[in-house]
Amino acid sequence: MTLLRTPERSSLAPSAESGTAPVPATPESPRRAPRRLPAIALYGALALAAVLTLLPFAWVVSGSLRSLDEIRSDPGAWLPSAPTFDNFVRLFTGEGFAVYLVNSLVVAAIVVVGNIVTASLAGYALSKFDFRGKKLAFGAVLAALMVPYTAVFVPQFVVTVNLGLIDTLAGIAGPSITLPLSIFIMRQYASSVPDELLEAARLDGAGEFRTFFRVFLPLAGPAVATITIMSFLNSWNNFIWPLIVAQSTRTYTLPVGLAATNKAAANLTDYGLSLAGALVVMLPVLVLFLFLQRYFVQGIAATGIR
């Protein structure tokens, strides 16, 4: 008679006593400490680079709060022994920096608004419309990006004189109202907007201007922020053109006024006053970038600028 053998219980079969399956042994996970070393080194290097970048700015802030005698006695000190705001008081009362600040803000506002309006319209047309000469127009924008500023400086000055805009804020802002870089940024961003969204608006009865203002422009926030920052920097830091166009102190912008303040000191440079003026020039740019940095990064990534 043949005996039937019962199958052996597998080691992974449920136990009759516990009713649960034993968990198979897993190999020990590798130690993660070595993997973290490159990340720690990277963050350490970035932190060191950030500190080195901020050191000059910290020294400017410290120097603006020190008197001239204190700076001359110990130029390398990082902390003022007796902080004072006298440099800022003299800057806005005796040196006319309040007028220069208002002039710079007016010129920057004209330049920023002009670039947003013209670049948005031109970039949208170059990306979404098909018309004769479209490639030629975009090629002209690219060519304008490659032309150095010194090559068009004299023609711009002649046109400004003929228009009677010398020694006016409009004459200072005029050449920067439409920048080729702004048109290029908006055109590249408009190319990333799906055509189906615009076609859907047109099918719903929206005209081209309504489609532009109600559909495209709200989507172009990152590009608008990028244009705002770049055109503001171009206007705020511009020195040569305002120096030539402004014929009197009433139309001086901040960079020109700061240079005039240093020149007026003759043989004795008032370092505290100069550092206070430099701080006033830098702060609006930093504030603007802090508010728009998220959109600025999105705009740069979307347009493909490197």
The parts of the chain modelled with pLDDT lower than 70 are: 1-35, 95, 262-268, 295-306
Please give the Cα distance from 74 to 79 (Å, whole number): 10
With vertex at residue 186, the alpha carbon angle to CA 183 and CA 191, rounded to the nearest 5 degrees, is 125
> Per 3-state DSSP, what percentage of the chain is helix, strand, and coil (rounded to 5)?
70, 0, 30
pTM equals: 0.76
The answer to whether residues 235 and 107 touch, using CB atoms and an 8 Å cutoff, is yes
| Ordered structural domains, the chain, with CATH | 41-84 (no CATH), 96-303 (1.10.3720.10)
pLDDT at 184: 93
Task: Determine the pLDDT at residue 21.
Answer: 53
pLDDT in tens, 41-72: 888 899 999 999 888 888 888 888 888 788 88
pLDDT at residue 11, rounded to an integer = 45
Per-residue pLDDT at 264: 52
Where b means 16+ CB within 10 Å and e means fewer, 34-71 reads eeeeeeeeeeeeeeeeeeeeeeeeeeebbbbbbbeebb
Q: What does the pLDDT read at residue 141?
A: 92
Question: Tens digits of per-residue pLDDT, 181-221?
Answer: 999 999 999 998 888 888 898 888 888 888 998 889 888 88
The residue among 186, 243, 240 whose CA lies nearest residue 216 is 186
Look at residue 281 in the predicted model and tell me its pLDDT: 86
